[in-house]
Structure 1
């Protein structure tokens, strides 16, 4: 039988990986219940083992060296493989559950079509979907992670940008015919605009792109759901301002896009969670799969 290879001190390896994933030595120490000096000793033990400096230390900050980044890139996939190997030997009834917040339209049109692939990869991972309001503020409480439409998440959160959105205006075919193919300030001033109360800058960006910053429509109706905005537009209740091409993506012919203009949205879809949640197996599996699939 061949001699066993020496393994690195696993507690030191755990400390190293948590610092990298959480982006902060302080956060890693808090997660592990260690003092900063104890955490530093564990990292030092790992550096002695591999014979390389993995971090530079400046005051309270620890920054990966080039060798440290190379080491993490080599080790992290192996740790995931080890976790999956252990997972495969566990009882199949031992379900992993993720509480995920996500806007309803994103869930239905972008996320759900890919979920069968995730289920094949990780059959024990089950997801509770929450489409309620204020997703970002409920992280760490009723939600493990969320996909949000935002100008930029809280700086204290781990965040990954999933796309760069555009603003589109949609209306029923009948109303679109009345408005015409080209922007007419007089006609638009007579209309009702349907906008998201949580995303007001989308409407401002759209007006600016059309050169109509001073446009004052007949009314602005606010909604807390993109689905309801779309449904109201389909019923001829006004012009919907949306941060995505949902109708064109799904082939909804009850509405048509107004004008041939490109408007960059102030808002994008982001995956967000509290940094410590990345150490949770369900969150980590979903996070890694989402980034690989959506980016």
Structure 2
């Protein structure tokens, strides 16, 4: 049987990474290539298939219709090939998982339980990535991630890890100063501390206390839950966060503001590409965290 001729896999890898990362520069950085070397790989792929995959304008590369069709056809099979090769690699010492993780979830919920996983699977080791926008890199530079989301994109296999309530809390002294009942005049003088990726938590909380139009003196945005906790404990503002983070902090400097129950729009989710479950390291972690009840 004649063997079909294939383009260089490195050229296909370069093409797939440009599409997934959204830029040629990011793809070149990931692959450790110069921009010109990356461009040559893409040009070689275009020559092989006889189609223009990208339009190039002012350093930007945009998919053509042929490029989109090629990506839709090749991307899943490229992932399957990568998983198949990985499954054949013999490594009796280490199973490696590249996991995206939010730092506060890691410190409060995951790390205290990881010794259980290590004991059950001593070959499994995890590289952690706490950069923002984790979901954008799952399936490329990350095998899987734990994210906060209303609902992950349908392209992912997703496991919901919890249900949460929204709390408003701050320093005990500021709670006493504000009082036990919502007052719009008093709250309008305050600074609120909001996570940049969870804006709807504040909207839900304002609605629950009967002040949907509340305009505080300021809203300070943070990309770190741990920093929000510390800022609130020092009286720098009123944190709008999940009840779980409040309770797990065990910080006696903090106190809840008002006795109100608010369902959070967001949950923690474990996500990965469906085909990634064929990779042993991903499957082990997925099965464990699905049952761990963190």
In 2, the alpha carbon distance for the partners of 1:265 and 1:91 equals 43
Q: Is the 8 A contact 2:190 2:217 kept in 1?
A: yes
CA contact (8 A) 1:247 1:253 kept: no
| Rounded Cα–Cα distance in structure 2 between residues aligned with 1:112 and 1:244 | 19
How many residues end up aligned between the 2 structures?
216
Q: Equivalent residue of 2:112, what SS? A: helix
In 1, the alpha carbon distance for the partners of 2:128 and 2:148 equals 16
Is contact 1:100-1:145 (8 Å) kept? yes
Structure-2 separation of matches of 1:258 and 1:217: 15
Matched, 1:165 2:169: no
Where does the alignment leave 5 or more consecutive residues of structure 2 unmatched? 1-72, 82-86
Q: Is 1:266 the counterpart of 2:265 in the alignment?
A: yes
Residues 168-190 of structure 1 deviation map (CA, whole Å, 9 limit, x = unaligned): 11111111110011111111111
Q: Give, in whole Å, the separation in 2 of the partners of 1:184 and 1:290.
A: 42
The Cα of 1:247 is off from its aligned counterpart by 2.8
- Tell me the secondary structure at the aligned position of residue 113 of structure 1: coil
Shift of 1:91: 6.8
CA contact (8 A) 1:196 1:222 kept: yes
Structure 2 length normalisation: TM-score?
0.69
Report the alpha carbon displacement of residue 113 of structure 1 after superposing the two structures with TM.
1.3
2:51 aligns with: none
Where do 4+ consecutive residues of structure 1 move more than 2 Å? 29-33
Whether 1:185 aligns to 2:184 is yes
Segments of structure 1 that go 5 or more residues without pairing to the other structure are: 1-25, 34-82, 84-89
Preserved CA contact (<8 Å) 2:98 2:143: yes
Matched, 1:199 2:213: no
Q: Is the 8 A contact 1:118 1:289 kept in 2?
A: yes
| Pair 1:150 & 2:149 matched | yes
CA contact 2:80–2:275 (8 Å) conserved in 1: no
Q: In structure 2, what is the Cα distance between the partners aligned to 1:121 and 1:252?
A: 32
The alignment's TM-score, normalised by the length of structure 1, stands at: 0.69
Q: Displacement, 1:234?
A: 1.2
Check the 8 A contact 1:101/1:145 in 2, yes or no: yes
Pair 1:112 & 2:101 matched: no
